[in-house]
Structure 1
Amino acid sequence: MSTHSVRGLTVDDDTRCTHYRTDRDVVAFKFDCCEHYYPCFRCHQAVTDHKAIPWPSDRFDEPSVLCGVCATELTVPAYLEADHRCPSCDAPFNPGCHEHASRYFTPGDR
């Protein structure tokens, strides 16, 4: 159960939202534009009044990915190297999130 504030549409205790609700949809991403966690880019679009700015490569050493199961914050490299599982609690992450990586992390920096 996450202790961090995660914004979005119908966000549950493990950071699932209206858009993504499988057992593996338990990560949230922080956006550079507003410094808040959202379960997905669609939630950011739905509840903000500004354009989403992905997490920039010069901040990859700062935590910006949240495991909704154990509330561990991960850096971008730690998340991308985690093989679709939380390195802290072993909760499975949805591998499909990597398909949207450019919406969460600055393109070309992964």
Structure 2
Amino acid sequence: MSSPPVHGVAVGPETRCAHYRTDRDIVAFKFACCECYYPCFRCHEERTDHEAVPWPRDRFDEPSVLCGVCDTTLSVPNYLEADYRCPACDAAFNPGCGAHAALYFETGASDQ
């Protein structure tokens, strides 16, 4: 099975992009607005003509996070519980992504 396409700016084979290029920047997130994977919110902003919509809480059981090393897709709970490591290949994920979690996953903090 082939991996889903990852859109963005200067996306490399392990999903690193022009904005985040460390050895741990190897995940891509699916946005609910377009059902497409992007390495980061900045890539989504630069490559689309619409507002980003984080992955909705009522779909957390669906795969929406992609490991750029082994192409495993994870649900939000699986990703969040993995302690910044891919449960399939043990590649290290960037813990800094946690600072942007609300941009990728619906937090339920507001009732907009």
Structure 2 residues without counterparts, runs of 5 or longer: none
Deviation at 1:108, TM superposition (A): 2.9
Determine the structure 2 residue equivalent to 1:80: 80
TM value normalised by structure 2:
0.94
Cα distance in 1 for residues equivalent to 2:28 and 2:93: 11
Structure 1 residues without counterparts, runs of 5 or longer: none
Q: Tell me whether 1:42 sits opposite 2:31 in the alignment.
A: no
TM value normalised by structure 1:
0.95
Cα distance in 2 for residues equivalent to 1:68 and 1:101: 18
Aligned-pair identity (%): 69
Deviation at 1:4, TM superposition (A): 1.9
Cα distance in 2 for residues equivalent to 1:87 and 1:3: 17
Determine the structure 2 residue equivalent to 1:17: 17
Query: Over aligned residue pairs, what C-alpha RMSD do you find?
Result: 1.1
Greater C-alpha Rg: 2
Q: Tell me the matched-pair count.
A: 108
| Structure 1 runs of 4+ with >6 Å offset | none
* Paired AA for residue 60 in structure 1: F
